[in-house]
Amino acid sequence: MTNHFVDYRNADVILIIGSNTAENHPMGMKWAMKAKEKGAQLIAVDPRVSKSASMCHVHARLRPGTDIAFINGMMNYIIENDLWFKDYVLNYTNASFLIHPDYQCEDGVFSGFTDIDGKLSYDTATWQYQMDGDVIKKDPTLQDPNCVFQILKKHVSRYDIKTVCQITGTSEDTYRKVCEMYASSGKRDKAGCVIYGMGITMHSVGTQNARALCILQLLLGNMGIPGGGVNAQRGEQNVQGSTDMAMLHGNLPGYLGMVYANKHKTLAEYIEKETPTGYWSNKPKFLISQLKAWYGDKATPENDFCYDWLPKHDGKNRSYMSLFNYMDTGEVKGFFVAGQNPSVGGPSTIQANQAMENLEWLVVYDIFEIETAAFWKRPGADPSKIKTEVFLLPAAMSFEKEGSVTNAGRWMQWRYKAVNPPGEAKSDLWMFYNLFNTIRKEYQKGGKFPDPVLNMVWDYDLPGEEEPDIAKVAKEINGYEVATGNVLSGFAKLAADGSTACGNWVLSGYWFEDKDAKVPACKRRINKDPSGMGVFPQYAFSWPANRRIAYNRCSADPAGNPWNPQKPYARWDALAGKWVIPDVPDFKATEPAPNPSDPPIPVPPEKSAVDAYIMSEDGHGRLFAVKGLSDGPLPEHYEPYESPFRNLISQQQNNPMALTFKTGLFSKIAEIGSEKYPCVAITVHLVEHYQSGATTRNCPSLAEISAHMFVNISPSLAQKIGVKNGDDVIVESVRGQITCKAAVNGVCVPLMVNGKETEVISMPYSWGFMGIATGASANDLTPSVGDPNSNIPEYKAFLCNVRKANKS
Ligand SMILES: Nc1nc2c(c(=O)[nH]1)N[C@H]1C(S)=C(S)[C@@H](COP(=O)(O)OP(=O)(O)OC[C@H]3O[C@@H](n4cnc5c(=O)[nH]c(N)nc54)[C@H](O)[C@@H]3O)O[C@H]1N2
Ligand SMILES: Nc1nc2c(c(=O)[nH]1)N[C@H]1C(S)=C(S)[C@@H](COP(=O)(O)OP(=O)(O)OC[C@H]3O[C@@H](n4cnc5c(=O)[nH]c(N)nc54)[C@H](O)[C@@H]3O)O[C@H]1N2
Ligand SMILES: [Mo]
């Protein structure tokens, strides 16, 4: 999220797209409702009438997987009707920058596409800016056909209302209403907020879906302002925290790029190739401080801070779906599962469970005996034929241990332990601390390349206690001065010479003591909001640097006057000659004085406006992404991998860069327009259950509230197949079939897509064969196809058939 939950109340228009905030993030919805009470207009874009959609002024249904057409069409409407925020776009985005004259998007494929022996990729040379030496060429009149604005305008011009509605199945009247209502936020004194969730991300075009929302927000001047932003409703209670700490296959902690064996042989090579200009020129400080945190005294300038010890990525796809594919091919032989339930939660679970049978060993570290731990005795399996050795380790639950959690709004908060874990259950910190200690003991006897294991900083003992000292871990993540051990106040203090150690630069400062609260920043609970805008600067710690709204320089014009004088955020006080802002500036507001004992010197507005998007190499919000995406610089509509339709916008049916498996268990995909599987299916989260249901189906009261797996089907489909609400139906895809209850209540209705009535069905994915309430798993039906950038599976938009279950 660029903004945060409380900030929703500052919005004038809210676009809830692909998110069911009311069920899945009720504390977020609370603030959207506060905005509504103050007169804000709420829009939902969702194939279903979700609980959130039912609370909005306008609800536009669309066919799952067609959001790019929907959003590109909104941009087209905004540009055609001259509703974009010109001063903002001109000053703060790359609209005027000139792109390579050979750039093009021809029939759904961008320039630079290469296919070398079936290995597809884009050479991005033609996506780059035109340069005059070191300076990017620009056309401030925005007339040059190679300028970003003209390229964007041309790109989205194909998405006229009629074409969009043919693709999405949205009624033209409703679509026009959405465009009009949301475009009203493109004025200086109006703020539009985008709230999105898994309906946007879980597609073979998921990242470009989110990109489209960013471009929309830039065009309307809604970024960096209170009540604006692009706000992902993130998952679990700590998915944000887990990605910050690199629970991702392509990152080191703090979103530092992964270190690859073939292209980053030395520290110098990594730094040379991976250090851009702009803010990220600080990257060497972050990486070297990380190496100091991990390898301590052993890391010296002479040995490149033990860079050679850092495990390097081999360049193969190591994402979730690929790992299961490697189990299928036999390359992965052992699997340690901590805090997830892949036998229910991952895609194509029939095939995933089969692939797991190839494992030599499996460790499941969980609070229950979940489906994954019991996969060898799942219905239909023959335990006598499965040789996998399975270990089940009992885990302590969240209330039984302390630690930090980070919410979707980047607020990092400390959670205290309420009770001791039962029996032999252990906290995750205990488990991994002792696991590594045990592995190290083995290496003391010898082993391949023992140095990194033997010398890793791993000293978190708390004398007299069985639990490790979490404060020591917290301090290492925050960062400290090596010579004194003093906790650093923030990442600005990090150095590239080995004098500082820091496990994760984005979080730096969270463990630094707040002078008023007298506790580390993430433990603060000072409930004061001096600006009255919901900022609460001393409540928790908002990374980075306790900043609440990212890119906040953009809340004022280049001269430093707030766009909206009624809701000023960053403001240049000309009389006093300084910046006034209720938040931590996301721009250079001051510079150090030549004499360090003097107060810092304020940076005047025009100078700070030059790189208002400080984290972007060119200092500007990118309408056109010159780098960072593997599937194109602009979002382009492709059909979901399984679709009843041919792509109406181009000959290119699917995202050419999507992650797919051509052979093996995970290669099953229904044909385009399949008559056997005519319904478009989505899967969703539920208020009554949590994810795979492992926790909630083991909780008697929740198991009782929602005991049965179900599928939402339209009244017309129910009539056609001869079932009524509560009857058993079979839902089948090319990968498998399940039996569950039909829910016939108007949540789903058919859509008219390009003249063809198309049924949309929706299923929760929270059931499995273990626990108190058991039921079929929706993931027995889902495909193993993923977005090329994030590798997230296409859980939403796949083909199914529904028929009446024969009672025997
Ligand atoms: N009670 C409860 N709370 C939860 C969770 C839970 O399981 N239970 N899970 C947590 C986690 S980990 C997460 S990630 C979040 C998930 O929370 P959300 O992001 O809200 O997830 P979903 O319910 O999967 O999907 C959101 C909406 O997207 C719509 N949708 C589906 N396909 C499309 C599409 O193609 N386009 C558009 N525009 N919309 C589409 C669905 O109909 C649904 O209403 O919730 C978190 N909170
Ligand atoms: N079809 C379909 N599939 C989906 C989705 C979808 O929308 N549709 N959504 C996806 C999303 S967004 C997510 S996040 C995933 C979630 O998928 P999973 O992460 O696999 O699902 P959970 O049920 O949350 O599994 C968490 C496990 O951790 C255990 N646990 C809880 N607390 C602790 C603890 O403190 N320590 C340890 N060691 N274990 C603990 C729980 O008992 C549970 O078994 O599912 C994904 N799968
Ligand atoms: Mo999630």
Residue nearest to atom 13 of ligand 2 (CA): 691
Looking at residue 236, its pLDDT comes to: 84
Which ligand has the nearest atom to the CA of 25?
1
Ligand 2 binding pocket includes 363 (Cβ within 6 Å)? no
Ligand 1 binding pocket includes 28 (Cβ within 6 Å)? no
Residue nearest to atom 12 of ligand 2 (CA): 235
Q: Closest ligand 1 atom to the C-alpha of 48?
A: 42
Which ligand has the nearest atom to the CA of 760?
1
Looking at residue 686, its pLDDT comes to: 96
Asked whether 787 and 204 are in contact (CB, 8 A), the reply is yes
Euclidean distance between CA atoms 476 and 294, whole angstroms: 9
Q: Closest ligand 2 atom to the C-alpha of 695?
A: 42
Ligand 1 binding pocket includes 691 (Cβ within 6 Å)? yes
Class for the domain spanning 5-95+153-232: alpha beta
Angle between helices 67-80 and 206-219 (to 10 degrees): 20
Give the Å distance between the CA of 46 and the centre of ligand 1: 10
Give the Å distance between the CA of 167 and the centre of ligand 3: 28
Looking at residue 615, its pLDDT comes to: 87
The long-range contacts involving 157-165, CB below 8 angstroms and separated by at least 24 positions, are 157/76, 157/80, 158/649, 159/69, 159/72, 159/73, 159/75, 159/76, 159/637, 159/649, 160/73, 160/76, 161/73, 161/77, 163/69, 163/73, 163/648, 163/649, 164/69, 164/70, 164/72, 164/73
Euclidean distance between CA atoms 93 and 611, whole angstroms: 10
Looking at residue 533, its pLDDT comes to: 97
Ligand 1 binding pocket includes 226 (Cβ within 6 Å)? no
Q: What is the 3-state secondary structure (H, E, C) of 600-628?
A: CEECCHHHHHCCCCCCCCCCCECCCCCCC
Looking at residue 291, its pLDDT comes to: 98
Give the Å distance between the CA of 25 and the centre of ligand 1: 9
Residue nearest to atom 1 of ligand 1 (CA): 687
Which ligand has the nearest atom to the CA of 685?
1
Give the Å distance between the CA of 467 and the centre of ligand 1: 36
Give the Å distance between the CA of 199 and the centre of ligand 1: 6
**What does the buried/exposed string (b/e) look like for 724-762 if buried means 16 or more CB atoms within 10 Å of the residue's CB?**
eeeeebbbbbbbbebebbbbbeebbbbbebbeeebbbbb
Residues within 5 A (CB) of ion ligand 3: 235
Residue nearest to atom 32 of ligand 1 (CA): 199
Q: Is there a shared CATH topology between the 5-95+153-232 domain and the 665-804 domain?
A: no
Check whether the bond before 544 is cis (ω within 30° of 0).
yes
Ligand 1 binding pocket includes 198 (Cβ within 6 Å)? yes
Amino acid letter for position 554:
C
Ligand 2 binding pocket includes 706 (Cβ within 6 Å)? no
Ligand 1 binding pocket includes 764 (Cβ within 6 Å)? no
What are phi and psi for residue 786, nearest 5 degrees? -140, 165
Which ligand has the nearest atom to the CA of 431?
2
Give the Å distance between the CA of 214 and the centre of ligand 2: 28
pTM of the model: 0.98
Ligand 1 binding pocket includes 705 (Cβ within 6 Å)? no
Euclidean distance between CA atoms 622 and 223, whole angstroms: 11
Ligand 1 binding pocket includes 49 (Cβ within 6 Å)? no
Amino acid letter for position 618:
D
> Which residues lie closer than 8 Å to 152 by C-beta, 6 or more apart?
75, 79, 95, 215, 623, 624, 634
Q: Which residue has the tokens 């075009």?
A: 205
If we measure between CA atoms, which residue out of 413, 427, 372, 391 comes closest to residue 241?
413
Q: What number does CATH give the domain 665-804?
A: 2.40.40.20
Residue nearest to atom 3 of ligand 1 (CA): 24
Asked whether 607 and 591 are in contact (CB, 8 A), the reply is no
Q: Helix (H, G, I), strand (E, B), or coil: what is residue 526? A: coil
Residue 164, CB half-sphere, CA atoms under 13 Å: how many?
30
- Give the pLDDT means over successive 10-residue stretches in the chain (808 positions): 98 98 97 98 98 98 98 99 98 98 98 94 98 97 98 98 98 98 98 98 98 98 98 93 92 95 96 88 96 98 98 95 98 97 98 98 98 98 97 97 96 97 97 97 95 97 96 98 98 97 98 97 97 98 98 98 97 97 96 93 96 92 97 98 98 98 98 98 97 97 96 98 98 98 97 97 98 98 97 98 86
Please state the domain extents for the chain.
Answer: 5-95+153-232, 556-612, 665-804
Cα separation of the two ends of the chain: 51
Euclidean distance between CA atoms 183 and 216, whole angstroms: 9
Cα angle vertex 515, ends 512, 518, to 5°? 75
Asked whether 195 and 33 are in contact (CB, 8 A), the reply is no
